[in-house]
Amino acid sequence: MQRLRLGTRGSLLAMAQSRLVAAALTRLHTGVAVDLVTVGTRGDRDLATPLTEVRDPGFFSTELDEALLAGTVDFCVHSLKDLPAVRHAGIALAALPPREDPRDVIVWRSDVPARLAAGQPVRVGSSSLRRQGNVADFLAWALPATGHAPAIGFLPVRGPVDARLGRLKLPLDAADALDGVVLALAGLARLWGDPAARASLAPLLGGVRWTVLPLTKCPAAAGQGVLAIECRADDGATLELLRGLHDPDTAELVAMEAAALSGAGASAEEQAAIGVTALQHGELGPVCFVRGMTPAGVVERLDWNRPPSPRGAVGFDGIAWQRACTRRPAGPLPQLARLGPGAAVFAAYWHALQHHPIPAGARLWVSGVESWRRLAARGLWVEGCADNLGFDQVRATLQSPVLGLPALKEWTAVTYGWAVEGWRATGVGEVIATYDIVPPADEAVLRGLREAAAQATHFYWSSAEQFHALRASLPAAARHACGAGKTLRALRAAGADAQPFPNGREWQRWLN
């Protein structure tokens, strides 16, 4: 049996992550055993200095580097985002294992909705300039509307995850008490998956409320959710063993994030305020969300493999047809009336809940940030969204055990009548049509839409119903585009060779 010494920080999360890597390594190589060796770092000892004032790139890694180079340990596990950009020549990056969910979350006290309704100030813990800037912008409209503008203040937080969560349990009048704390979902998921860590975490997460921050408005730090496994560059045997843990897809996303950050037109110091998160999408390929505050203003864009723009294109957006339609609410709906306070609901469109209430305390997810905005304005607590990339893209997040959401078969999806069929294969337990879209009755309006469609060359459909409604008027050489979820599958099933786009806004930019 070959024994390797794994150097790790001593925090609850660092130990959980190191045990995770050790278990993966011993499964891959049955003749290897791993012993964990804890190494204290300056970042662990100094809990007073705000991270915004730390100018030491090795704050969380220098002592581990020294132990590795001295031969005290054979390899180390780091959170990639904690590593300095320039590494010691004697240290090799052996592997980037498969990434955990990169999103940020806010964990809230259970009474925050009532405090918002009363117009009371809410304290959110975060020392990150990136989180403070993006989250403040987002929460200004994403929390349930109460008639009072939310008074959000940020307090610095340092220390291990369990200590940060513990501040949600302090008496409200305590100086260090928090109403919410911004954390990486990846860290929480790994803690929850580690039996020893879960015992400490479970009491702290009892009864909390969640906000899973959308990547569209609150991308995470570059490399968040990625572990970096390092060993000595001259230790070929250990390097070879560790390489089996490397995930090329994760490495591709990390490289894309690094390129997006360097291309943001910001100084190294300003980059600390910019979030970049890349995802792998089955239809779009890698997609990278970029957003942050710089002295020059807000940086916000989406990087993806955009096809070359056409020349001389005449565009037609299917929304034009939908705007001419009317929506007819369905009802009564006893299925919705039977939902309990903890029911999990996914709204495919904000219109699906325009005329139908859901119980207070329901765990509501939506398709994208516009639906989030609309439903929050109605006073609903929205927990997360699919960033307009389709339900399949957020499926793994919904099944993250630490969030405590029901199994998909216990979820309810609400949509409109024509779209129900597209939900059949999602695994969602019940799909309810809460409204129907009624075509325009005015013949002049219909004629105008058909003529506009007949003269266009490029079309964007936000639902397959729009395509079918105008299909007879479309030119034979029409080029079709749509989002990357159910609409894409429905259009292809109807014989339209549609090009997927992240959203209609990206299609407009491409077209123009």
Strand intervals (E) in 282-338: 285-294, 297-304, 315-317, 326-329
Q: What pLDDT does residue 268 have?
A: 74
- Domain shared by 93 and 140, yes or no: no
- The rounded distance, in Å, linking the Cα atoms of 475 and 463 is 19
Q: What does the pLDDT average to over 253-257?
A: 97
Q: Cα Rg for the chain, rounded, in angstroms?
A: 25
For residue 143, the enclosing domain spans 100-224+248-305
pLDDT tens by residue, 316-343: 999 999 999 999 999 899 999 899 989 9
- On whether both 425 and 462 belong to a single domain, the answer is no
Number of structural domains, the chain? 4
CA distance 362 to 124: 23
DSSP secondary structure of 206-260:
TT-EEEE--TTT----TTTT-EEEEEETT-HHHHHHHHTT--HHHHHHHHHHHHH
Last residue of a domain, one of 438, 469, 493: 438
What are the pLDDT digits (tens) for 393-416?
999 999 999 999 999 999 999 999
The domain boundary, picked from 404, 419, 438, lies at 438
386: CATH: 3.40.50.10090
Q: Using H for helix, E for strand and C for coil, what is the string for 188-205?
A: HHHHHHCHHHHHHHHHHH
Q: What percent of the chain has pLDDT over 90?
A: 87
CA distance from start to end of the chain: 63
Confidence of residue 445 (pLDDT cuts 50, 70, 90): very high
Is 154 a member of any domain?
yes
State the sign of the Cα–Cα–Cα–Cα dihedral 512, 220, 153, 121: positive
Tokens (6 digits) for 347: 């709204």
Q: Does position 1 have pLDDT exceeding 90, yes or no?
A: no
- 240 pLDDT higher than 90: yes
**Which residues fall within 8 angstroms of residue 161, CB to CB, at 6 or more apart?**
11, 12, 13, 183, 187, 188, 191, 201
Instruction: Please check whether residue 469 lies inside any domain of the structure.
Output: yes
Distances (CA, A) of 25 to 18, 22, 72, 74: 10, 5, 19, 13
Residues 181 and 300 in one domain: yes
Q: Do 212 and 271 sit in the same domain of this protein?
A: yes
pTM of the model: 0.95
Tens of pLDDT, residue by residue over 463-509, are 999 999 999 999 999 999 999 999 999 999 999 999 999 999 999 99
Averaged over 353-360, what is the pLDDT? Answer: 91
Specify whether 123 is located in the same domain as 270. yes
Residue 430 lies in a domain: yes
Tens of pLDDT along 134-175?
A: 999 999 999 999 998 999 999 999 889 999 999 999 999 999
Percent of the chain with pLDDT over 70: 96
Contact 215, 277 (CB under 8 A): yes
Query: Are 79 and 47 in a shared domain?
Result: yes
Q: Say whether both 291 and 276 belong to one domain.
A: yes
* Exposure string over 441-452, b if 16+ CB within 10 A, otherwise e: eeeeebeebbee
Residue 45 pLDDT > 70, yes or no? no
Write the pLDDT tens digit of every residue in 58-92.
566 889 999 999 999 999 999 999 898 889 999 99
Q: How confident is the model at residue 294 (pLDDT cuts 50, 70, 90)?
A: confident
Token output for 354? 């325009």
CA dihedral sign, ordered 314, 319, 323, 328: positive
The mean pLDDT of 247-260, rounded to a whole number, is: 96
- Cis before 332? omega within 30: yes
The DSSP bridge pattern shows strands 499-500 and 479-482 to be: parallel
Token pair recorded at residue 361: 């305390």
310 in any annotated domain = no
Give the pLDDT mean for 296-321.
94
Q: Does a structural domain hold residue 495?
A: yes
Q: Is residue 499 part of a domain?
A: yes
Average pLDDT across the chain, whole number: 94
Residues 142 and 219 in one domain: yes
Edge-to-edge strands of the sheet including 297-304? 274-281, 285-294, 297-304
My answer on whether 261 and 407 are in the same domain is no
Q: Give a yes or no: residue 400 inside a domain.
A: yes
Nearest-angstrom CA–CA distance, 424 and 427: 7
Look at residue 259 and tell me whether its pLDDT is greater than 90.
yes
- Of the candidates 22, 10, 215, 185, the one whose C-alpha atom is nearest the C-alpha of residue 99 is 185
94-132 pLDDT, tens digit per residue, is: 999 999 999 999 999 999 999 999 999 999 999 999 999
Distances in Å between the alpha carbon of 169 and those of 50, 165, 174? 22, 8, 10
Last residue of a domain, one of 438, 473, 494: 438
Residues 162 and 210 in one domain: yes
pLDDT, residue 40, reads 77
Local confidence band at 57 (pLDDT 50, 70, 90 cut-offs):
low
| Residue 369's pLDDT band (cuts 50, 70, 90) | very high
In a domain, 188, yes or no: yes
Which is it for strands 315-317 and 2-8: parallel, antiparallel or unpaired?
unpaired
CA dihedral 472, 473, 479, 484 (to 10 degrees): -60
Task: State the pLDDT at residue 360.
Answer: 86
Cα–Cα distance measured from residue 476 to residue 493, given in angstroms and rounded to the nearest whole number:
17
Residue type at 297 in one-letter notation: G
Provide the pairing of β-strand 152-155 with 209-212.
Answer: unpaired
Residue 93's domain is classified under what CATH number?
Answer: 3.40.190.10
Residues 68 and 192 in one domain: no
Q: Are residues 358 and 398 in the same domain?
A: yes
User: CA-CA distance, 501 to 484, in Å (whole number)?
Assistant: 6
